[in-house]
C-alpha cells in the first residue's frame, strides 16, 4: 500500500515545519507548501485513472461529454482553491484565504449556469 510512506514522510515534514516555525516562519510555510504539493503529485495518477473510467462510462451511457467536463472542471477549481486557501490560512492570511474561496465560488457558479439552464429546458419540454 502506498499510503504508509506518504504518511511517514508527511509526519516527518510536519515535525520539521514545527521546528522551523519558531525561527523562520516563512520557511516553515514553504515547507508545508512543499509537503502539500508532494502529496498531491503522488496521488494524481490515481485521480487520472478514475477520471478515465468515468469518461468511458459516460460515453457508453450516451450522455454528452459536456456535463462530465463541467463536473471535472468544478472539482478541479474546488481542489485548487481549497489548496490555496488552506496554505494561506496556515500562513496566517485568513482574509486572503476567504477571498480565494469567494473567487472559486464565483467561477464554479459561472460553470454551473449552463447545466442548470439545460435542466430547466429539459423540464419545460416535458410540460405539455
Partner 1 sequence: MINVDIIFKIAGVGILIAVLHMVLKEAGKETMAEMATIAGVAVVLFWVVPLLARLFEQVKTVFRLF
The residues that touch partner 1, with contacts defined as CB under 8 A, are 2, 5, 9, 12-13, 16-17, 19-20, 23-24, 26-28, 30-31, 33-35, 37-38, 40-42, 44, 47-48, 51, 69, 72-73, 75-77, 79-80
Residue 62 and residue 74: Cα distance in Å, rounded?
21
- For partner 1, the closer CB: 10 or 89: 10
Q: Nearest 5°: phi and psi at 80?
A: -65, -40
* Closer residue to partner 1 in complex, CB, 23/123: 23
- Cβ-contact 78, 88 below 8 angstroms: no
Please say which residue, 46 or 99, places its beta carbon nearer to partner 1: 46
Instruction: Report the distance separating Cα 23 and Cα 60, nearest Å.
Output: 57
Torsion sign, CA atoms 34, 35, 40, 41: positive
CB of 22 or CB of 60, closer to partner 1: 22
Residue with cell 447545466: 115
> CA 86, 92, 96, 100: dihedral to nearest 10 degrees?
0
Amino acid at each position: 500500500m502506498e499510503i504508509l510512506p506518504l504518511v511517514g514522510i508527511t509526519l516527518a515534514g510536519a515535525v520539521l515545519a514545527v521546528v522551523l516555525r519558531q525561527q523562520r516562519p516563512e520557511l516553515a510555510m514553504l515547507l508545508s507548501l512543499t509537503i502539500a504539493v508532494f502529496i498531491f503529485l503522488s496521488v494524481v495518477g490515481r485521480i487520472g485513472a478514475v477520471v478515465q473510467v468515468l469518461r468511458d462510462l459516460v460515453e457508453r451511457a450516451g450522455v454528452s461529454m459536456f456535463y462530465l467536463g463541467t463536473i471535472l472542471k468544478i472539482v478541479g477549481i474546488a481542489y485548487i482553491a481549497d489548496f490555496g486557501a488552506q496554505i494561506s490560512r496556515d500562513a496566517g492570511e485568513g482574509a486572503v484565504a476567504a477571498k480565494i474561496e469567494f473567487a472559486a465560488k464565483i467561477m464554479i457558479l459561472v460553470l454551473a449556469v449552463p447545466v442548470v439552464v439545460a435542466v430547466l429546458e429539459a423540464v419545460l419540454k416535458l410540460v405539455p
